[in-house]
Amino acid sequence: MSRYPAPALTRRALLASAAASAAGAMLPLLPASPATAAMRDVSLRAAAGRVRLATPGETAAWLYNGTAPGPEIRLRQGERLRVTVDNALAEETTVHWHGLRLPNAMDGVPHLTQKPIGAGERFVYEFDAIDAGTFWYHPHQKSSEQVGRGLYGPLIIEEPEPLRVDRDVTWMLGDWRLTKSGEISEDFGNRHDIHHNGRVGNTVTINGRRVPDGFAVRKGERIRLRLINAANARIFSLDFAGHEPIVIALDGQPVTPHAPEKGLVVLGAAMRVDLILDMTGTAGSRAAVTDRFYEGLEYKLVDLVYDGTPLRERAPDWPLGLPANPLPEPDLKAASRNEVLFSGGMMGEMVAEEMGETMGGEMMGPGAPGGRMSHAHSMTGGMMAMMNSGAAWFINGVAADESGHDMKPMLTLERNRSHVIAMTNATAWHHPIHLHGHSFRVISRNGQPTRHREWQDTVLLSPREKLEIAFVADNPGDWMFHCHVLEHQAGGMMAVFRVA
Ligand code: C2O
Ligand code: CU
């Protein structure tokens, strides 16, 4: 299944080096110093093409370098990445480097951080890989359609000393809405998707393929599995059938190694989870990985297919922890506090009213008088009119206009200061909420401190949930803050935070 070459530490390399070297000096690699930081040059060409998602038949899609996902970009922490993007699509695009802390001008948000890359044009992105971890890239222009047609790819930044595993594997999860004839359904941005749970598709792929033959493993093998949810909207809740995955990183950032709640690995759109997966099944057996997120719609993602010969009899006893990334620690006592309320969507009025959070809406876009918040006890005429015009979701009463992106900042955060954002989801739906340019700690959910104070860049809010995040706003510029259900984003669920 893995089209992606394994990194330096393959099982074979591991065995060879273990045999050869008692000193265990496998990785003579040091973090590059800024003066000598190695430059990695990559080219990405966005163009229409055809892919084989399932056999038989091909599907017309939009691709980076002819494949979906695009090439796995891999470099080491401390290196510098330069990506030359050629736009061979018939429309404008950009590339956003999801989860990376980079200079604002490299963030890939059309109109806000750069001019969109026109058809036939080129843009060069260049930035340092500050954090090690599992990240990804995708357009930020008409995201629902451009991502939904296949434009996305993994971006892996390796630790200076990779964690010891037998195999380092990336599964980029895609979700396609295909017609009976196997073509991509053209109903992008339809009202139903926007007002409900987004464009949930009907064909889930791993690295751009359905995998009917299964994923080959060996008893005793330890895999670092990097899961990336590249779906427009689908949320995954993966059950590894008796295996006991250990979460070691979320959204690229190390977390105290722990078993996920109820053994289920949950990823909202755009989220990443790094797992340590010890293959504890019996040689020659099969085990199904099942997605259980949507009740009554469980399905088998893939079979783990055990080879007849074990690699070793029991799971290895190697360390699980990853070294921390250089993130500034927020000071909660000194933090400024900001409230953010999400509202709208189907049944939104009902939920908001239950929660005592009803408010009117205001369209914010180029030339529109954005920013006003009006507290009303029922849907205002304006909100009604907007919902009819396609604005479906509101942040602090404001629905943004995606075509503009050049929005006025909703919040201005003082630079180098700690900030708490207290979010309330006064809607009937889940929302993976993403902040650009920073990682934040999730510090509480519904008033309860979180166990791991996990760093994330995209946090999944459940219906009616309240949660708090905290971070140091150390990256100057205008940054998007939005729902990563791309149809919710298109329906207004985005804002700009200015760090100044
Ligand atoms: Cu994954 Cu605003 O993006
Ligand atoms: Cu949403």
Q: Does 417 reside within a domain?
A: yes
Give residue for tokens 């290895």.
Answer: 316
90 and 144 co-located in one domain: yes
Q: Which residues of the chain have pLDDT under 70?
A: 1-36, 55, 358-390, 404-406
In a domain? residue 316 = no
Same domain (yes/no): 64, 129 = yes
Look at ligand 1, atom 3, and give the residue with the nearest C-alpha: 98
User: 154 and 172 share a domain?
Assistant: no
Residue 16 lies in a domain: no
Which pLDDT belongs to residue 356?
84
- Domain final residue, candidates 101, 130, 158: 158
Tens-digit pLDDT profile for residues 87-108: 999 999 999 999 999 999 999 9
- Please report the pLDDT score of residue 391 as a whole number: 78
Which ligand lies nearest to the CA atom of residue 195 in the structure?
2
pLDDT at 188 (0 to 100): 96
Q: Which ligand is nearest to the CA of 480?
A: 1
- CATH number of the domain encompassing residue 82: 2.60.40.420
* Span from the CA of 354 to the centroid of ligand 1 (angstroms): 31
For residue 109, the ligand 1 atom closest to its alpha carbon is: 2
**For 101, left (φ over 0), alpha (ψ -120 to 50), or beta?**
beta
* Six-digit token string for 149: 């047609």
| Ligand 1, atom 1: closest residue by C-alpha | 98
Please tell me whether the overall predicted TM-score, pTM, comes out greater than 0.85 for this model: yes
- What does the block give as tokens for 371? 């920013």
Looking at 116, 139, 158, which one is the last position of a domain?
158
For residue 127, the cross-strand partners are: 81
Find the farthest-apart pair of alpha carbons in the chain and give their distance in angstroms, rounded. Answer: 75
Which residues sit with their C-beta closer than 6 Å to ligand 1? 96, 98, 138, 140, 270, 434, 436, 480, 482, 484
| Closest atom of ligand 1 relative to the 494 alpha carbon | 2
Angle at CA of residue 148, ends 146 and 154, nearest 5°: 85
128 and 257 co-located in one domain: no
Residues 177 and 201 sit within 8 Å (Cβ to Cβ):
yes
Q: How far is the CA of 364 from the centre of ligand 1 (A)?
A: 19
Q: Are 152 and 172 contained in the same domain? A: no
Distance, CA of 374 to CA of 353 (rounded, Å): 15
Q: Does residue 77 belong to any structural domain of this protein?
A: yes
Q: Please tell me the distance between residue 485's alpha carbon and the centre of ligand 2 in angstroms.
A: 5
Residue 88 Cα, ligand 1 centroid: separation in angstroms? 22
Q: Could you read off the pLDDT of 306-355 as tens digits, one per residue?
A: 999 999 999 999 999 999 999 999 999 999 999 999 999 998 888 888 88
CA dist., res. 385 & res. 369, Å (int): 16
Domain boundary among 125, 158, 191: 158
The answer to whether the beta carbons of residues 411 and 445 sit under 8 Å apart is: no
Query: What residue has token string 């295996």?
Result: 243
Same domain, 177 and 94: no
Residue 201 shares a structural domain with residue 297: yes
Give the other-Cβ count within 10 Å of 35's Cβ.
5
Give how many domains the chain has, as a whole number: 3
Residue numbers of the domain that contains 396? 336-499
Single-letter residue type at 431: H
How confident is the model at residue 15, as a pLDDT? 33
- Which residues are bridge partners to 274 per DSSP? 226, 249
Nearest ligand to the C-alpha atom of residue 488: 2
Residue 244 inside a domain? The answer is yes
pLDDT at 8: 35
Co-location of 347 and 290 in the same domain: no
Quick one: 173 and 269 in the same domain? yes
Residue 485: which of 392, 408, 404 has the closest Cα?
A: 392
Provide the 3-class DSSP secondary structure of residue 431.
strand
C-alpha of residue 343 to centroid of ligand 2, in Å: 10
262 and 372 part of one domain: no
Residues 141 and 168 placed together within one structural domain of the fold: no
Please indicate, yes or no, whether residues 96 and 193 belong to a single structural domain of this protein: no
Residue 264 lies in a domain: yes
In a domain, 301, yes or no: yes
